[in-house]
Amino acid sequence: METKRILRDETKLFEEGATLPKGTELQGRYEIIRTVAIGGMGTIYQARDKRFTKVARLCAVKEMINSAPDPHLRELSIKNFEREANILATLNHPAIPKIFDCFSEGNRSYLVLEFVEGQNLESLLQRTASFLPAEQVISWAIQTCDVLSYIHDHKPNPLIFRDLKPSNIMLNNQDRIVLIDFGIAK
């Protein structure tokens, strides 16, 4: 039996378990393959972009279900989600996923992003019983500083990534870092 519970967050309420089933199509284009993560702000799916018929182009679909009972909270959630889309659309850096699309269907809003194959740093740290090699940690730190410098120097408006934590740093299959979740960037 699937348990549903309400997760409380400063900007919205999200009903856990209300995920899209495998095979769901969004916009007649994005076919859901699997659920990647469920959090307080929404769900991340791996999907296939069906416009590319000769290749399997994978993408990440970030879903926000706007079910906050307070209209002001709903409006704030939508504005934050739209702000994230607009921020990502202005950025071009190898450590930031590219945005491909954004749209709404009913009370759900979606961002379609480059899919980052790999794991987040938090998962890696939880599975690692010993210290990580210093050279590797230094490499990740330099990469993180590089992308933070890029967004802090962003023109015309510098950005601040306000949610830097291991779960928002992905390590791709080339052992390069990628920042994820620009939802509260300013």
Taking the C-alpha atoms of residue 112 and residue 133, their distance in angstroms, rounded to an integer, is 34
Distance of CA 89 to the CA centre of its chain: 14
Q: Which residues pair with 32 in a beta bridge?
A: 47
- Under DSSP, the state recorded for 130 is S
Taking the C-alpha atoms of residue 178 and residue 68, their distance in angstroms, rounded to an integer, is 30
Taking the C-alpha atoms of residue 136 and residue 174, their distance in angstroms, rounded to an integer, is 12
Tokens 């870092």 belong to 177
Q: Which residues pair with 34 in a beta bridge?
A: 46
Burial of 18 (0-12, 13-18, 19+ CB in 10 A): middle
User: What SS3 class is residue 110?
Assistant: strand
Instruction: Mark whether 163 is an active-site residue.
Output: yes
| Options 70, 101, 146, 163, the catalytic residue | 163
Taking the C-alpha atoms of residue 41 and residue 62, their distance in angstroms, rounded to an integer, is 10
Q: So which residues are the catalytic ones?
A: 163
